[in-house]
Amino acid sequence: DRPQPAPPQSSAHPSAGHGSGGDGTGGQRPVPPRPSESRLVANLQTELADTLLKLGDAEELVKNLQSKCQDLGATIERERELRTGNGAMRNAEYLKNITVKWMLSLDRNEQGTLLPVIAQILHFSPEEIEAIQQHLQRGPLRRVAGGVSNLLFGAGSS
């Protein structure tokens, strides 16, 4: 899509093209853009629009990443505070709040989500974590379902 050279202009009058038109164009009419130039301009406009969309997406991504960095920075700061002397008091308060939430929750998924937090604060062993996870999977609803199943279908089902 290279621009083609302009065709040679023939002039029937020796003064044509030398300012005799009186319209400020030197007697020459403006040359309309060639079809290949129009296509090139359209392609460039499309490319510009695509690039602007990508720029908007990139700016949105930058904002999201900056927000995540701030959140992670706050988390790191909380961890540092918890490891200092004053942090021990806050750590105990945090543990208390998490434990209360754990005990009040009837949702096993929520309890499963809180387990790693409590396990980290109290330094549970992998065996202790596994035992608690197995208990959560069995849960009271599974025991009730097993009891109902035994009543309906006999002692062999659970």
Q: Mind giving me the DSSP string for 46-99?
A: HHHHHHHHHHHHHHHHHHHHHHHHHHHHHHHHHHHHHHSHHHHHHHHHHHHHHH
Tens digit of pLDDT for each residue in 22-58? 555 566 777 776 778 889 999 999 999 999 999 999 9
Q: Which residue has the higher pLDDT, 109 or 2?
A: 109
For residue 109, what pLDDT is reported? 79
In this structure, the answer to whether residues 104 and 147 fall within a common structural domain is yes
For residue 77, being part of any structural domain is answered with yes
Query: Which is nearest to 20 in space by CA: 28, 12, 8?
Result: 28
Cut 0.75: pTM above it: no
Query: Which is nearest to 129 in space by CA: 139, 138, 120?
Result: 120
For residue 3, being part of any structural domain is answered with no
For residue 17, being part of any structural domain is answered with no
For residue 158, being part of any structural domain is answered with no
For residue 16, being part of any structural domain is answered with no
In this structure, the answer to whether residues 72 and 99 fall within a common structural domain is no
Q: What is the 3-state composition of the chain as percent helix, strand, coil, each rounded to the nearest 5? A: 70, 0, 30
In this structure, the answer to whether residues 138 and 100 fall within a common structural domain is yes
How many domains does one find in the chain?
2
- Of 83, 101, 119, the residue that ends a domain is 83
For residue 114, being part of any structural domain is answered with yes
For residue 12, being part of any structural domain is answered with no
For residue 45, what pLDDT is reported? 95
Q: In which domain, by residue range, is 51 found? A: 35-83
Place 2 in a pLDDT band, splitting at 50, 70 and 90: low
Q: Which residue has the higher pLDDT, 84 or 100?
A: 100
- Of 83, 112, 139, the residue that ends a domain is 83
For residue 133, being part of any structural domain is answered with yes
In this structure, the answer to whether residues 148 and 96 fall within a common structural domain is yes
**In degrees rounded to 5, what are phi and psi of residue 54?**
-65, -40
In this structure, the answer to whether residues 69 and 114 fall within a common structural domain is no
Residue with tokens 């990443």: 65
Separation between Cα atoms, residue 65 and residue 59, nearest integer Å: 10
In this structure, the answer to whether residues 104 and 138 fall within a common structural domain is yes
Q: Hey, what are 95's tokens?
A: 């543990």
Separation between Cα atoms, residue 136 and residue 139, nearest integer Å: 5
